[in-house]
A and B are shown apart, each in its own frame.
Chain A
Amino acid sequence: MFILSFIPDWFFPLVAALAITLFFITKYLKIVPYSSIVHYLSIPIFSIALFFIGANWNNNYWLAKVKEVEAKLAVAEAESAKENTKIVEKVVTRRELVRVQGNEITKYIDREVVKYDENCRIPDPVVDAHNKAVKQ
Chain B
Amino acid sequence: MKYLLILVVLLTGCTTTVPVTQKFPEAPKPLLEHCKQLKLAPTNVQLSELTKIVVENYMEYHICSGNNSAWIEWYTTQQRIFNKER
Contact = CB atoms under 8 A, between A and B. Distances in A.
B45 A72 contact: no
Contacts of B20: 66, 69-70, 73
Interface string A54-98: 000000000000100110110111011101100110111011001
Contact of B54 (A99, A124, A130): A130
B7 interface: no
Given A102-B59, A134-B57, A3 B13 contact: yes
Nearest to A130: B41
A91 B43 contact: no
Interface in A26-47: none
Given A99-B59, A109-B48, A113-B51, A84 B41 contact: no
B68 to A, nearest CB: 11
Q: On chain A, which size bracket covers the interface?
A: 35 or more
B28 A84 contact: yes
A130 B50 contact: yes
Contacts, number: 117
A12 to B, nearest CB: 14
A105 B53 CA distance: 11
Given A73-B22, A130-B54, A122 B59 contact: no
A60 B20 CA distance: 15
B30 A88 contact: yes
Contacts of B25: 77, 80, 84
B19 A98 contact: no
Given A1-B12, A3-B13, A99-B59, A117 B30 contact: no
A79 to B, nearest CB: 5
B21 to A, nearest CB: 9
Contacts of A81: 26
Interface of B: 9, 12-13, 15, 19-20, 22-23, 25-31, 38-48, 50-59, 62-63, 66-67, 70, 73-74, 77-78, 81-82, 84-85
